[in-house]
Amino acid sequence: MSLFDKNNAPLDDKQALDHHIKTALAVPHPSGMEFELSYRLVKSLFNPMIIGEENIPQQPCLFVGNHSLFALDGWVLAPVFIKELNRFVRGLGDKFLFASSTVGDKILKSGGVMGHPQVCSALMQDGQDIIVFPGGAQEAVKPSSEMYELKWKERYGFVKLAAKHGYTIMPFGAVGPEEFYSHLIEGQDLPDSLPGKLLKKMGLLTDDFRSDIMPPIPLGALGTPLPKPQRCYLGFGEPIDLSDYKGRTPTLKQQKSIRAEVAEQIEMQLAELLFTRAQNKGKDSLLRKILTL
């Protein structure tokens, strides 16, 4: 059984939470054949380009970026951060990811952790790099009309935690993973579509299901379930040093100001990366062009 089995109430069970933190802190820096193969696969399929890596400071950072469709960005970014930037970033994931023992334990062993304040605090106290996507699940299933838009609602937790521990926030943008799949049917349109009606008849879709977190029906390369090999672009903005706030919580006005600065940096990176991609489109191979149609 997973430490965070849905019957295990992870947010209320102190013993399970403590065990999760202890296990997370003990995860070694990824290496070996399995890691090398994952990096080579990412490099071959998506040929990532990194811009602004000189902006990343030496001290541990809270990397904050835009989330992509189905949260596939983590699969691409993790090996690139480790291999090309020498940063083992610990991804903060939604608690539902740890409801399954198979999925949750694999995420934990690969470096991901549950996005819980105590877990994040423990990692910061240990001086580890962390990566978070404040948009969470909603940003990972947004319609294609909102591609590359930040959907953060009123979330300030990452700002408060970074300030409390005097951490540096490192804003970044990622272009490419958002377009690994086309949207055959948008999530918001699914309930009234023919597939949606069939799912309702099968009892797999209920009327009270939230449309804002309904994923689209994806369409991959050449109409298959495989992701389109879109080239990925990763850009880093200016670091935001919150060491002056260490040990205290910023006022709401300060939190809003810091969050707005982070969002602005990410949006600037996205604009620059989209422009860079447009300039490099002609350099893609014919096979990549065909597979990304």
Q: Please tell me the distance from the alpha carbon of residue 206 to that of residue 38, in angstroms, as a whole number.
A: 37
How high is the mean pLDDT of the chain? 89
| Whether pLDDT at 180 is above 70 | yes
| Whether pLDDT at 168 is above 80 | yes
**How many Cα atoms occupy the beta-carbon half-sphere of 154 within 13 Å?**
2
For CATH 3.40.1130, list the domain ranges present in the chain.
14-180+230-291
Tokens of 117: 């304040």
Q: Specify the residue for token string 């804003």.
A: 171
Residues in CB range of 215: below 8 A, 6 or more apart: 70, 140, 141, 187
pLDDT at 211: 62
* Domain 14-180+230-291 part of CATH 3.40.1130: yes
| Whether pLDDT at 8 is above 50 | no
Q: Specify the residue for token string 């055959």.
A: 184
* Paired strand residues for 173: 235
pLDDT at 5: 41
pLDDT at 47: 95
pLDDT at 204: 65
DSSP code string of 81-97 = HHHHH----EEEE-GGG
3-state secondary structure of 174: strand
User: Nearest to residue 122, comparing CAs of 27, 252, 260, 187?
Assistant: 27
pLDDT at 159: 97
What pLDDT band is residue 195 in, cutting at 50, 70 and 90?
confident
Q: Specify the residue for token string 């610990």.
A: 90
User: Nearest to residue 170, comparing CAs of 50, 89, 65?
Assistant: 65
User: Nearest to residue 71, comparing CAs of 167, 197, 205, 215?
Assistant: 215
**Tens digit of each residue's pLDDT (9 = 90 or more) over 67-106:** 999 989 988 999 999 999 999 999 998 887 777 767 778 8
What pLDDT band is residue 194 in, cutting at 50, 70 and 90?
confident
